[in-house]
Structure formats: structure tokens, C-alpha cells
Amino acid sequence: MKAIEMLELTKKYADKYSEEAKTSLVRNNHMNEIKKDEEIDQRVIDAVLVDFINFIGVKNGIDYALYTSDLRKS
């Protein structure tokens, strides 16, 4: 798999995960430091996902330039 294909696939997974992230983080709170009653801002979730994907791109020599506004776009 080429790096760009990996980024595109990761972006597709991020699109889906972003919608379920709050529930997933609370459900898996035994694996992180999120408290069950803690409010998790969707903007922060999306920012971390996008930043991580762009980080992977840079490490592979690609300026993927993904924005949070690109999440959940087909």
C-alpha cells in the first residue's frame, strides 16, 4: 500500500470514528484518563484526528493538508 492510499483509508476510518468517538472514549475509559461524566468537545476530537493523520502524512513525505472541515465529506 502506498502512503497516499494509507492516508485516504485512515481518513475514511476517521470519518466514521469521529461520529462514535465520545461514546467510544467513555466506554473505554479504563484505557484512558476520561471520566464517565466528563464532557468531550467534538471540535477537540476532530482536531486530534486531523492532526494525527497529517502527522502520519508528514512522516511519509506527504503534505496531506487535511482540515477538520474535511471530516465526514465523501
Q: What is the pTM of this model?
A: 0.91
Name the pLDDT band for 73 (thresholds 50, 70, 90).
confident
Q: Phi and psi at residue 26, in whole multiples of 5°?
A: -70, -45
Distance separating the N- and C-terminal Cα atoms of the chain: 21
b/e map of 24-51 (b: 16 or more CB within 10 Å)? ebeeeeeeeebeeeeeeeeeebbeebbe
**What residue segments make up the domains of the chain, in order of their start?**
3-63
Instruction: Give 5-45 pLDDT, tens digit per residue.
Output: 999 999 999 999 999 999 999 999 999 999 999 999 999 99
Q: Which among 27, 12, 26, 14 has a CA at the least distance from the CA of 74?
A: 12
From CA 67, how far away is CA 50, in angstroms rounded? 6
